[in-house]
Amino acid sequence: MIQLKNLQLPSVLQSPLAGCTDLAFRLTARAYGMKFAFLEMVSSEALVRQNRKTLDLLKSTVEDRPLGAQLVGCDADIMGEAAAIVENLGFDLLDLNLGCPVAKIVSPGGGSKLLVEPEKTEKIFKKVMANIKKIPVTVKMRKGYTDPSGDEAVRIARIAEDAGFSAVTVHGRTRDQGYSGQADWDAIGKVKRAVKIPVIGNGDVTSGAAAQKLMAISGCDGVMIGRGALGNPWIYQAVETTLSGQAEPPPPTLRELKDALLRHIQLEIQFDGERLAVLKARRIACWYFKSIPGANEFRNRVNQTQTAQELLDIVENFGQNSA
């Protein structure tokens, strides 16, 4: 466990993933062992304006706890105002995004661009802390913008520590890398050695063995799972089991994959209605069966579905002859 103020974090966390970690995803993951998650990142400006789509991203349930929110933005005053809103909404933790690599976030100066703007970043951090009364504040960053050394992440981590942040998360890639290449776990260790607050490692955690290796190389205090959880809600238990010194559990059976996917789709329907849920489920369904023979044909059929029942039937009947 990782103690952040009055919050006990598990050592295995779910990263915020834009367009992925919605309420249906989180409730499905919790059913299979996830203990802490973040919402999808939200724009500080949109939150302050009370944008309807942004507020929809913040929806949750009593079962969806503990839960963190993540803000992205580059204006200190607006970030501070948005931080107060997040705390007043009852979230357990606030994270600031200094890792997003996409152009629409980076171009105005947000996300990973702040890694090369230390003075601006310090102002944001101080303004956010001035507006937060109780909950812990953390930052998730990449190891650098273009510099692969990890020095930029070290500099930001020290600024965060001095500002009173409770922890930092480091994704072992630069902004230039996007999601390509391998994550640099040594760079995460460089940050860990530079600060006294907890450091959480992120990048390429796709199994219990990978998490164990990341922690051994970096010395970090916990791991954050990102894309490795898409279609794989068993990963949290697998990582926890491995980190406790036990053998990693076997992969799920086809029946177990189907059951998890059916649960996920039904929750999407419950929260978003049939029309939107079917559109979202076309992508979600492919996460679960991506490594199974027949996945390409399955994808083609799913992409042509128009109704929820048709989608559920396709999932139930997948691989029927070999199940």
Residue 181, domain CATH: 3.20.20.70
pLDDT at 94: 98
Summarize the confidence of residues 254-258 as an average pLDDT: 94
User: How many angstroms separate the CA atoms of 84 and 189, rounded?
Assistant: 32
Note the pLDDT tens digit of each residue in 13-40: 999 999 999 999 999 999 999 999 999 9
pLDDT at 191: 98
Q: Does residue 303 form part of some domain? A: yes
Could you tell me the two tokens for 309? Answer: 């029942």
Query: Can you spell out the DSSP letters for 264-296?
Result: HHHHHHHHH-HHHHHHHHHHHHHHHHTTSTTHH
pTM for the complete prediction? 0.94
| Domain shared by 193 and 284, yes or no | no
Domain stop point among 243, 265, 300: 243
Summarize the confidence of residues 222-242 as an average pLDDT: 96
| Domain shared by 146 and 287, yes or no | no
Q: Does residue 322 form part of some domain? A: no
At 45, which helix (H) or strand (E)?
helix 44-48
| Domain shared by 11 and 124, yes or no | yes
Note the pLDDT tens digit of each residue in 36-82: 999 999 999 999 999 999 999 999 999 999 999 999 999 999 999 99
| Domain shared by 26 and 95, yes or no | yes
Domain stop point among 243, 272, 294: 243
Q: What is the dihedral of CA 11, 16, 20, 21, to 10 degrees?
A: 60
pLDDT at 321: 55
**Residues acting as catalytic residues:** 100
Q: Does residue 261 form part of some domain? A: yes
The helices-and-strands tally (H runs, E runs) of the chain is: 14, 11
| Phi, psi values for residue 70, rounded to 5° | -125, 130
| Domain shared by 274 and 143, yes or no | no
Question: What range defines the domain where residue 290 resides?
Answer: 254-317
| Phi, psi values for residue 63, rounded to 5° | -75, -15
pLDDT at 322: 45
Q: Does residue 33 form part of some domain? A: yes
Cα–Cα distances (Å) from 131 to 38, 90, 104, 197, 270, in that order, read: 20, 14, 27, 21, 35
Q: Does residue 248 form part of some domain? A: no
Could you tell me the two tokens for 220? Answer: 């970090």
pLDDT band at 323 (very low <50, low <70, confident <90, very high): very low
Note the pLDDT tens digit of each residue in 125-177: 999 999 999 999 999 999 999 999 999 999 999 999 999 999 999 999 999 99
| 62 neighbors 106 (Cβ within 8 angstroms) | no
The total of structural domains in the chain comes to 2
